[in-house]
Amino acid sequence: MKKNIFKILIFLILYFLVIAIAQNTLDAFKLRILNLCAIYTILGLSMNLINGFTGQFSLGHAGFMAIGAYTTALLTMKPEVKEQIFYMKPLIYPLNSISMPFLPALLIGGVLAAVVGYLIGAPALKLKGDYLAIATLGFSEIIRVLITNAQSITNGALGIKGIPSYTNLYWSYGLGLITVIFMFKLINCSYGRAFKAIREDEIAAENMGINLFKHKIMAFTIGSFLAGIGGGLLGNLLGTIDPLMFRFFLTFNILLIIVLGGMGSISGTIIAAFVITIAGEALRFLDKEINLIFVRIPGIPGLRMVVFSALLMIVVLFYRNGLLGNEELSWDKIKTFFKNIKKPFNKGGNLHGSVKN
């Protein structure tokens, strides 16, 4: 027991030491990419809880992110900044005079997203498969339209600017670590086993005494809460938000992460969040002019996304269940992977020796 506590303490010290070094040494661009990696990890895990572990095909994540982002932004901004931003229609009372620290504002945004998720999930989760996906996508668009038209609350299509940049590596990776630990604990407890049973066979799960509605709505509400937290972190990282940010394309990006990492894999979601976020930025040079020694290739706008999509298609073709499927990464699997890589070289060495003899 003492040995395990000591290992955990060593890990936490090293974890936050690396974060501190990165926060104080890297430039603004690299810090933003690393923050986005952690935020997309939280968002990927929140969607994977609904889609991967419980087997409910939901496409409403962008709406819950929008609720978290707008709530956190409005609660953390100073009253004088709100007065400057809301010049078309004044912000309603008491939002025009409230200003609170980042953490309680973030939690309120997550709770509000969870409440809306519960209200949406109660009728929508009676549907299954494609019908559920269409219903949740529709609810997400309804949320976005309401945000666009509620000018005295959200500033409408003009969006909100001047949001305090509270999100940094400490917040994003600290909350990311808490989310990962929470997910592992949840999935490995009785509720997590019930989620997986519903995913595999709803009829069999119900016959075993599992309350389908209770567990579905629980997964949906928790996923909505985490999506609200991720949206709040994203809004306070970018410093500006508007309704167009929270279109279906944003939900598609998160869905891409869980499909690539593996539906029902926590470690696969983490790996995919980092790979997709970093690769998307690393390939930006394809949109610009490439000057080789003897050849000059003109920049083609959009080529980055074409190459990126082609690479993802290749990965999905070879790994149809994602990089890790529904399994988790462990030290034993890593050791086995490297042993399998070494085997051909060892065999080659033995063969060469026998020929020599």
Same domain, 321 and 356: no
Residue span of the structural domain in which 353 resides: 330-357
Residues 171/233, Cβ–Cβ less than 8 Å = yes
Q: Count structural domains, the chain.
A: 2
What's the whole-number mean pLDDT along residues 180-199? Answer: 94
Q: Is residue 226 part of a domain?
A: yes
* pLDDT at residue 357 tops 50: no
What's the whole-number mean pLDDT along residues 44-51? Answer: 95
Place of tokens 């033995």: 350
Same domain, 261 and 337: no
What is the reported pLDDT for 55? 92
* pLDDT above 90 coverage of the chain, percent: 69
What is the reported pLDDT for 219? 96
What is the reported pLDDT for 320? 77
Same domain, 115 and 241: yes
* pLDDT at residue 337 tops 90: no
* pLDDT at residue 135 tops 80: yes
What is the reported pLDDT for 21? 96
Same domain, 94 and 137: yes
Residue 240, φ and ψ in degrees, nearest 5: -155, 140
Same domain, 335 and 275: no
Q: Is residue 176 part of a domain?
A: yes
Taking all residues of the chain, what is their mean pLDDT, rounded to a whole number? Answer: 88
Q: Is residue 211 part of a domain?
A: yes
What is the reported pLDDT for 279? 87
What is the reported pLDDT for 197? 95
Nearest-angstrom CA–CA distance, 142 and 101: 30
Same domain, 342 and 315: no
Residues 222/114, Cβ–Cβ less than 8 Å = yes
**Could you report the per-residue pLDDT of 277-311, keeping only the tens digit for each?**
998 888 887 777 777 666 776 767 777 778 877 87
Q: Is residue 206 part of a domain?
A: yes
Counts for the chain of helices (H) and strands (E), in that order: 15, 4
| 79 upstream amide cis, omega within 30 of 0 | no
